[in-house]
Structure 1
Amino acid sequence: MIANYSKILVPMDGSKEAESALARAIELASEAGESGVLSILNVIDTRAFQNVASFDDTMVEAVSQETRRSLEKYKQQAIDAGIKNVDYLIEYGSPKTLIAKDVPNEVDADLIVIGATGLNAVERLVIGSVTEFVTRTAKVDVLVVREEA
């Protein structure tokens, strides 16, 4: 028996894999009909700013504005595909914890649709894979989507 998912969370990072995940999440939300809710998430990893010597609030604001523009585009893509209940969230902090634990609880997600990692084996060893962490620790089902050829 195939589960019916109605509250779908899709994290976006601008990668091709994430865009493939969004396309699949839109399909699944469409299958849920009127009860389908799609939450599009972007996590701004504030740890990346800690190493910048000239770090200030204007840098975070610039990144936030660019993120908002991207998420508006993704939201419109879902609306154009017929999804009526679409929202987006911008969170700040550790992508792993926010995607795997905090945001799914916040939006009451029953499925996370996430792009497969674009990292190579060495990068995964050094910094870890967000996708791998999410699939291992999330309390809800996780669908990993590979970039379409």
Structure 2
Amino acid sequence: MANQYQNIVVAVDGSKEAELAFRKAIDVAKRNIDSTLHIVHVIDTSVSTSVEMLYENMIELVQKHGEVLVENYRTQATEAGVTNVNTVITKGVPKSILSKKLTDLVAVDLIICGATGLNSVEQFLIGSNTEAIVRHAKCDVLVVRTAE
């Protein structure tokens, strides 16, 4: 099959937009035989770095939440028929990790992400993760806006 994706990455954070992207990623992975679905969750350290208030027990709690989140997605993917599933949890600034450093973590042919949930003022001032991915990714990007 021409233009087949072998390494499909979906970025998840527990949001409604990420859930839509995950559902689409399952469909894409199933259509691309022998592909691997990489479920990536980035623990956002940008707030803790600027405020310096993230205590050790909070870090553990956030880490555990990420582990439960990606394991739940892994289970859903395998139950839906995706045979090759990989999960990745990393810490950092999601915008930077997902747009510029993702290839250091996994091989990637396609990134699937949800459309931004930020309001127009936040988008203007800081930009969205999705916008950064679209601008800087070195592979194809699919931005999911609807459940269809």
Unmatched tracts of structure 1, length 5 or more: none
Corresponding residue number in structure 1 for 2:127: 128
Ranges of 4+ aligned residues in structure 1 off by more than 4 Å: 51-54
Corresponding residue number in structure 2 for 1:68: 67
- Contact 1:43/1:90 (<8 A) preserved: yes
Q: Return the offset for 1:32.
A: 1.3
Q: Return the offset for 1:51.
A: 5.1
RMSD of equivalent CA atoms = 1.8
Q: Return the offset for 1:4.
A: 1.5
1:97 aligns with 2:133: no
Q: Match for 2:32: what amino acid?
A: A
Corresponding residue number in structure 1 for 2:145: 146
Percent of residue pairs bearing the same amino acid type: 43
- Contact 1:9/1:104 (<8 A) preserved: no
Aligned residues: 148
Corresponding residue number in structure 1 for 2:5: 5
Q: Match for 1:148: what amino acid?
A: A
Q: Return the offset for 1:54.
A: 4.5
Distance 1:107 1:54, change over 3 A: closer
- Contact 1:16/1:147 (<8 A) preserved: no
Q: Deviations over 1:46-85 (max 9, x none)?
A: 1222355653221111100011111110010100011111
- Superposition pairs of residues 51-62 of structure 1, within 5 angstroms: 52=51, 54-62=53-61
- Contact 1:116/1:147 (<8 A) preserved: no
Corresponding residue number in structure 2 for 1:137: 136
Partner SS, residue 50 of structure 1: helix
> Which shifted more, 100-109 or 13-22?
100-109
- Contact 1:10/1:21 (<8 A) preserved: yes
Q: Return the offset for 1:104.
A: 3.0
TM-score of the two chains, using structure 2 as the length reference = 0.92
